Structure 1
Amino acid sequence: MTDAISSILSQIRAHEMRMRGPDAAPGNAIAPSALAPGAASGAPGAVGGAGAPGFQQTLSNAIDSVSRAQNTSGALQQAFELGDPRADLARVMVAMQQSQVAFRATVEVRNRLVQAYQDVMNMPV
């Protein structure tokens, strides 16, 4: 299971690097200016630069992607059940497996985030 999580994290990092563009320096995913609210954009409560998506946006995009995969899978399954010749069994099964894997990965990331939050909250001050 650790290999799957590492794979997902590397995919998230690769996606983040694609979103930043070719001039972004590799290294830490969190820039030092992103740690202080409003440091990069000057707006109170803003985190990160104007061009780079924040954690909330990245997580929202990932959840939207899982939702789209599940909707596509459901639509293909329904089309197959109704006898649509364009919805063959192989496409339906692949779409269903893709949506299942995406959902499991999202649940695993959520579990890791909850565990990290609980670990931080249980730290002695």
Structure 2
Amino acid sequence: MDIKANSLYQEMQAMIAQAQLPVHEAPNIVKQPENEFASMLKNAIEGVNDAQMHSKNMQQRFEMGDPSLSLAEVMIAKEKSSIAFEATLQVRNKLLEAYKQISNMPV
């Protein structure tokens, strides 16, 4: 699982810039970023889930005595899945914080 925070941040900034355009200037942009953002978010969550499932599978195989796995490989997979999960939680927290700020803005 490769999480690139800078590219995610740049994509989010681009989406924000597109969302700030008036609708009459770019009518096709209104629905496209939602689909792109939703698919990007879904792919990221699925990637974290895959990393966790892979880590769990490796742990079970190691516990059952699979000679092809070393303890180091299992621990690295576990740490990767843990880091991916923590990053996902941080992104979720930032999104919730942004939502709260937007919902508190005067209309």
- Normalising by the residue count of structure 1, what TM-score does the alignment of the two structures yield? 0.67
1:95 paired with 2:77, answer yes
Give the C-alpha shift of residue 84 in structure 1.
0.2
Q: Which residue of 1 aligns with 2:100?
A: 118
- Between the two proteins, what is the percent identity of the paired residues? 40
Instruction: Judging by fraction of residues, say which structure has more helix.
Output: 2
1:29 paired with 2:14, answer yes
Q: Which residue of 2 aligns with 1:107?
A: 89
- Normalising by the residue count of structure 2, what TM-score does the alignment of the two structures yield? 0.77
Task: Give the Cα separation in 2 of the matches to 1:76 and 1:102.
Answer: 17
1:57 paired with 2:39, answer yes
Using CA pairs below 8 Å that are at least 6 residues apart, which structure has the higher relative contact order? 2
Asked whether the 8 Å contact 1:70–1:96 carries over to 2, the reply is: yes
Q: Which residue of 2 aligns with 1:39?
A: 28
Structure 1 segments (4+ residues) deviating >3 Å: 31-38
Q: Which residue of 1 aligns with 2:8?
A: 12
Task: Give the Cα separation in 2 of the matches to 1:82 and 1:38.
Answer: 57
Q: Which residue of 2 aligns with 1:19?
A: none
C-alpha RMSD of matched pairs (Å): 2.8
| Residues 78 and 12 of structure 1, relative CA distance in 2, 3 Å threshold | same
Q: Which residue of 2 aligns with 1:24?
A: none
Count of aligned pairs between the two proteins: 99
Structure 1 unaligned regions, length at least 5: 1-6, 17-27
Tell me which of 54, 66, 72 is aligned to 1:84. 66
